[in-house]
């Protein structure tokens, strides 16, 4: 990861909320590194900010259609939320950060595998999304990693970020900036009597997203939304606090217009996060929009086991 291309944000209260680093290379290329404090922004906010900024640079601020709105703070006054942060690994553990690229062809084949169970075990949704398939695949592989480490299957909780914009009964402004995300949570228990096969995990991810979508649609005021989000966050926090439950947090940045940000010299060749914390799995689109890039960090041994599990599954896709 090219972390030196992005300025680091400090944690002190008086640190800048946004920092931009402009990098120029001898070949003539440029890279823009942006750091934004998470307490004021989610992925949608970052994407909106970057695209509005790029459009203003290219054709003028008066022609920016994705104009950021900052009204969420008045619609949803700040409240204390349950913590969902985990414990960082020891400093003596060597952490490996990897990027796994699933192109459109591979994803099509993985979808076919997910639809290939017997008549009673087909995925409930006959056309699973790219995000559902990749999330299920990585989750299943991480469960195998934990099994290899402990010698047996363990309970696990998956938390997938869920953008609530346009999904609640409460109207919010277009391009609302801030943090307006929920968690779509799915569980796995060793005694669930399901096989470790892709379509089972696709079903669980799909059910989690569907349930969260349904829950959001029922919320009509800020108290409803706070109650729903705090309940999901509490579920994640409790799982993180239990030593016998493995918790995997997935941050999905797909379908945001990262590759539309044209400052006047063309659209980006590559957009990525530069530093994914341990315990977080990040999903982003490939440039063509058909594939997904997965970023995650694990200890060296776990990363090797994960790679072996992914290779074993993907080898069946052709």
Q: How far is the C-alpha of 134 from the C-alpha of 19, rounded, in Å?
A: 32
Closest CA to 310 of 143, 71, 62, 78: 143
Place of tokens 């204390």: 80
Strand partners, 282: 251, 295
Closest CA to 34 of 66, 3, 59, 60: 3
Q: How far is the C-alpha of 217 from the C-alpha of 209, rounded, in Å?
A: 12
Place of tokens 């920092």: 19
Strands 280-285 vs 246-252: parallel, antiparallel or unpaired:
parallel
Q: How far is the C-alpha of 276 from the C-alpha of 316, rounded, in Å?
A: 29
Q: Give helix then strand counts, H and E, for the chain.
A: 7, 8
CB 313 within 8 A of CB 134: no
Strand partners, 117: none
User: Is 38 in the active site?
Assistant: yes
Q: How far is the C-alpha of 130 from the C-alpha of 107, rounded, in Å?
A: 7
Q: How far is the C-alpha of 283 from the C-alpha of 100, rounded, in Å?
A: 10
Catalytic residue among 207, 262, 290, 299: 262
CB 313 within 8 A of CB 109: no
User: Is 200 in the active site?
Assistant: no
Place of tokens 């993985």: 110
Q: Reduced to 3 states, what is the DSSP secondary structure of residue 31?
A: strand
Catalytic residue among 38, 105, 150, 214: 38
What are the residue numbers of the active site?
38, 262
């Amino acid at each position: 990861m090219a972390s030196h291309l992005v300025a680091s944000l400090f944690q002190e209260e008086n640190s800048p909320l946004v920092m931009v680093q402009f990098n120029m290379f001898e070949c003539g290329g440029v890279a823009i590194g942006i750091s934004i404090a998470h307490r004021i922004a989610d992925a949608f906010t970052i994407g909106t900010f970057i695209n509005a900024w790029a459009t203003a640079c290219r054709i003028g601020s008066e022609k920016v259609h994705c104009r950021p709105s900052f009204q969420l703070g008045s619609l949803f006054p700040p409240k204390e939320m349950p913590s969902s942060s985990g414990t960082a690994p020891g400093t003596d553990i060597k952490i490996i950060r990897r990027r796994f690229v699933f192109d459109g062809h591979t994803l099509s084949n993985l979808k076919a595998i997910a639809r290939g169970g017997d008549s009673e075990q087909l995925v409930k949704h006959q056309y699973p999304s790219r995000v559902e398939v990749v999330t299920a695949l990585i989750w299943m592989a991480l469960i195998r990693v934990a099994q290899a480490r402990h010698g047996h299957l363990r309970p696990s909780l998956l938390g997938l970020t869920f953008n609530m914009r346009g999904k609640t009964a409460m109207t919010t402004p277009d391009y609302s900036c801030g943090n307006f995300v929920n968690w779509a949570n799915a569980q796995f228990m060793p005694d669930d009597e399901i096989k470790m096969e892709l379509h089972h995990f696709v079903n669980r991810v799909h059910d989690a997203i569907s349930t969260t979508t349904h829950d959001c649609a029922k919320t009509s005021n800020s108290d409803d939304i706070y109650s729903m989000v705090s309940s999901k966050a509490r579920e994640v926090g409790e799982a993180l606090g239990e030593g016998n439950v493995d918790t995997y947090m997935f941050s999905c940045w797909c379908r945001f217009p990262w590759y539309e940000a044209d400052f006047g010299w063309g659209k980006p060749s590559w957009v990525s996060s530069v530093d994914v914390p341990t315990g977080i799995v990040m999903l982003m689109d490939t440039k063509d929009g058909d594939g997904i890039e997965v970023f995650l960090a694990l200890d060296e041994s776990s990363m090797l086991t994960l790679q072996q599990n992914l290779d074993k599954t993907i080898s069946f896709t052709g």
